[in-house]
Amino acid sequence: MKFAFQLLAVAYASQKIQGFQLGPGRTDHGRRTAAAALRAVAKDEKKKIYIQNERQAIAKKKDFYRGAGVFKNVKAGVEQDMRKQFDSVLMNEMKEDPNYMLEKDGVEFYLAKDHGFCWGVERSINLAYSAVETFPDADLHITNELIHNPMVNEKLHSKNVNFIEKDEDNNKDFSQIKEGDVVMLPAFGATLDEMKELDSKNIKVVDTTCPWVAKVWSTVHTHQVRGLTSVIHGKYAHEETMATKSMCETYICVKNEDEAEYVADFIVNAKEGDGRAEEFMAKFSKACSPHFDPHKHLQKIGLANQTTMYKKETRAIGQLLQKTMMKKFGPDLLNDHYYEFDTICDATQVRQDAVDELCNMHDDPNMPDLDFILVVGGFDSSNTAHLLEIPQMRGVTSFHINTASCIQADNTIRHRQVDGTVVDKSLFLDDGMIWTVDDDGEKTKKMLRVGVTSGASTPDKDVHDALGRIMMLNEILSTSKIEEGT
């Protein structure tokens, strides 16, 4: 209603409402005109089409498949297929131990209590595999990798699913899709433009989008309704964030606390005409909506995030922005200028907490030291990358691999570093991990102790294969050293 009165004031000032006068001289005709204008404004507000309405209209169509119940006839068979492909006897043994620990072949493995596949990923895989079984005679496509895991995506390739090609700017070639085909949307979701284009092609769409991602979309819809700019903590080129951006009216992406602090400083200190807006737009040109004006669109903001980001950083950014808006507008007006709702994925949180626990064990003098923590998951997996950051920040030796083949028989490892660099060949198990040396220089074989975790897109079988290579390598190195000494 406040908005309606503002519109009336503008209309009066520009003399667009004829016969309407304020003050004692107001006529009955003026009152009737004013009431009619208010009703018209209210009606227009109700008619406003939000981005969410467009997405929901597409999702309600009969050839749009989503939800666990849409492929009931093949569900049991698909679940059995998934268990065969992804389960691990070794990992199950660790889970059955109260401390999630297993000693085998001279190695003690300590498994993070939360690790591996999350329910959203399992749901996406189930829907994708079910679509293949349900439409055996159709040409099947997927608009992106289903999840960031090589094994799972290779399995879809083997099931003759076509992965839509894209260029460097992530533009996808949908020309190969023809009427009657089946197109799957990945766990990260799809942009609204992609959904509209697919909707125009008379095809079947299978939506495997993780519900946690859809929850973020609901949050940015709330931002639009409230007239807020969505500040998204995420990587602007990541598939999930690209989909989320498309669900926003106005947005800006901040990758980390440094970028958030830059935005906060602008909010508090920038002035019209001081040249900082141009500098700001040069920095965020690829990370904000095309019509973005930092002076205008940072007056009222709401926080959302890419679900796989580091949760402590998202919370720190939220606290920073809240304090910034309080400083700029005062605590009494905070709710008019800032809105926050927790959109950090539960699976992301608990996996990060579990790695923290492994690091605590490493630091506890009453617990055995870990020689290193092994992180298993796709190199392009954001949630897995953040699992590596935690031990690295705490000074615990750690390696991020994407497949077991990264661990080589020559005792080298291919691994991803925190900055994203992939090191092709570096020393893996050093002598200090395998031997203790007494004052006389005598070597004694020691227990190798390994902390283990995996990303939310990583099946237990991937971890199992990696642990098998560690045990084999530990045995080879131990035996060769003993033989050298005889």
- What's residue 13's pLDDT? 41
pLDDT score recorded for residue 47: 55
Distance between CA atoms of residues 23 and 476, nearest Å: 95
Strands annotated E in 204-357: 204-207, 229-233, 251-254, 301-305, 338-340
Q: Is pLDDT of 78 > 60? A: yes
Contact 343, 305 (CB under 8 A): yes
**CA-to-CA separations, 416 to 380, 422, 467, in angstroms, rounded:** 10, 4, 18
pLDDT at 254 over 80: yes
| Measured CA angle at 220 (ends 198, 248), to 5 deg | 50
Catalytic residue of the set 145, 194, 240, 389: 240
Structure confidence at residue 129 as a pLDDT band (50, 70, 90): very high
pLDDT at residue 10, rounded to an integer: 40
The Cα–Cα gap between 308 and 455 comes to: 10
- Which residue in the block uniquely carries the two structure tokens 């297993």? 102
- 301 phi/psi in degrees, rounded to 5: -135, 155
Token pair 């969410």 in the structure block, residue:
52
Q: Where are the alpha helices (DSSP H) in 137-256?
A: 150-158, 192-199, 211-226, 239-246
**pLDDT reported for residue 330:** 96
Asked if pLDDT for residue 353 goes beyond 50, the answer is: yes
Kindly report the length of the chain. Answer: 486
pLDDT (tens digit per residue) in 281-309: 999 999 999 999 999 999 999 999 999 88
Distance, CA of 409 to CA of 243 (rounded, Å): 42
Active site residue 483: no
- Give pLDDT tens digits for 374-430: 999 999 998 999 999 999 999 999 999 999 999 999 999 999 999 999 999 999 999
Residue 388 φ/ψ region, left for φ over 0, alpha for ψ in the -120 to 50 degree band, beta for the rest: alpha
What is the rounded average pLDDT of the residues 198-225?
95
Q: How many helices (H) and strands (E) does the chain have?
A: 19, 18
- Please enumerate in sequence order all residues whose Cβ is within 8 A of that of 5, keeping only pairs 6 or more positions apart, or say none: none
pLDDT at 36 over 80: no
Say which residue, 67 or 370, is predicted with more confidence.
Answer: 370
Under the banding of pLDDT at 50, 70 and 90, the label for residue 437 is confident
